[in-house]
Amino acid sequence: MSKVAQHLHKIGAVSSLSGVPVPTLRVWETRYGAFRPSKSGGSHRLYNDEDVLRASLLRRLTSNGHAISTVANLGVDALSGLLNQHRHSEGRQVPAEHSSRSVGVAVIGLALSARFQSSALLRGIEGVNFQVTDSLVDLDSALEQPWQGSPDVLLVRVNSLHMAAHAVLRRVIDQYAIPHVIVLYSYGQERVVEAMKMAGMIVRREPITDRELAELINSVLLIDPRQANDLARPGVMIPPRKYSDQTLLQVAGISTNVLCECPRHVAELIGQLANFEQYSQECLNNSQEDAHLHAQLSAISGTARALFERALEMVADHEGIDLVQP
């Protein structure tokens, strides 16, 4: 595990980094025991990097409807796991105009921006119209200065990954509703890396080649767009998952006028494809040796899952099935 030192922060700094107001932090600490800060010589409360990350995760979970009393005492890993469940069950809707435009990419880290001029990287993503919408120096500037728009993909290059960096990155992702995040780092705390992976990010330790970076980017693009009709066009991102396991189970159990069992089978296939898509993404995070294979598997399964979600909507429209999330 990396031996990165823990930074200590006063409550105002924790508020700035996590986006949680100071009064709310005090309530979460005194009433619910969410934090256990140390005391300075002047009796100031001092919070470590993990407290900053906890505050950021708790803010996101409470905004998603979790009561603070039910999550305040969970560990960072458990909080990240809950956020990942939300990501897969409450994937945001992709606007219809999304399919007709280029793929927007925001880049944090000037060295990473320069790599977009590499011939090896450009060959690896050939046929996709990427537009670098924003190029930012570091995470702090990404949080402080306004962006040109909301990108489809965020590429991040940092030297050190620690709890505070994760908290700032989470704020950036939330602020611009970024669906796909790829993080490259040199040194990092193992717990932070695992928490980011559990939150749905692709996280890889440098060095990686331009070809490998291209494969990571391709893993979030729809496969074979010319054969997918109007759902997939060149450069379209794989949309987030639309329907939760609970919704799919309800559809599978509904009696319909269709004599065959297509509604049930389609719902079951979506669940299986979504699970394999997540598994392939985890393999992509964990294995550099088989990165090309897992990037392809992730993209293929994500494309298939999106197509079957379209098929489910066709069945639901024919049968009058309500697909509204519970």
Interhelix angle 22-30/11-18, rounded to 10 degrees, is 110
Q: Please name the CATH architecture into which domain 96-218 falls.
A: 3-Layer(aba) Sandwich (3.40)
CB 1 within 8 A of CB 161: no
Rounded CA-CA distance 188/194 in Å is 10
Q: Exposure string (b/e) for 85-119, b if CB count within 10 Å is 16 or more? A: ebbbbebeebeeeebeeebbbbbbbeebbebbeee
Residues in contact with 16: Cβ distance below 8 Å, sequence separation at least 6, in sequence order: none
Q: Confirm whether 8-89 and 96-218 share one CATH topology.
A: no
What torsion, rounded to 10 degrees, do the Cα atoms 126, 131, 135, 141 define? -130
pLDDT at 84: 64
pTM of the model: 0.58
pLDDT tens sequence for the chain (326 residues): 333 345 688 888 888 777 788 999 999 999 999 888 887 766 778 888 778 878 878 887 888 788 999 989 988 777 877 776 665 554 444 443 444 347 788 888 877 776 766 777 777 776 667 777 888 888 888 888 888 877 888 999 988 888 888 888 888 888 888 888 999 998 888 888 888 888 788 899 888 888 888 888 877 776 544 444 444 444 456 777 777 888 888 877 776 555 567 778 888 888 888 888 888 877 776 666 666 777 778 888 888 888 888 888 888 877 777 777 65
Domain ranges (residues) in the chain: 8-89, 96-218, 241-319
Q: How many C-beta atoms surround the C-beta of residue 228 within 10 A? A: 17
Residue of 275, 138, 156 lying closest to 206 (CA atoms): 156
Vertex 272 angle, CA 271 and 277, to 5°: 100
Rounded CA-CA distance 133/141 in Å is 15
pLDDT at 233: 43
pLDDT at 326: 56
Bond into 207 cis (ω within 30): yes
Residue of 228, 225, 240, 203 lying closest to 128 (CA atoms): 225
Rounded CA-CA distance 279/250 in Å is 24
Question: How many H helices and E strands in the chain?
Answer: 14, 8
% helix, strand, coil for the chain, step of 5: 55, 15, 35
Rounded CA-CA distance 244/267 in Å is 10
DSSP for 211-243? HHHHHHHHTTBPS-GGGSTTT--TTPBPPPP-S
pLDDT at 79: 80
Rounded CA-CA distance 151/132 in Å is 9
pLDDT at 41: 67
Q: Please name the CATH architecture into which domain 8-89 falls.
A: Orthogonal Bundle (1.10)
pLDDT at 218: 79
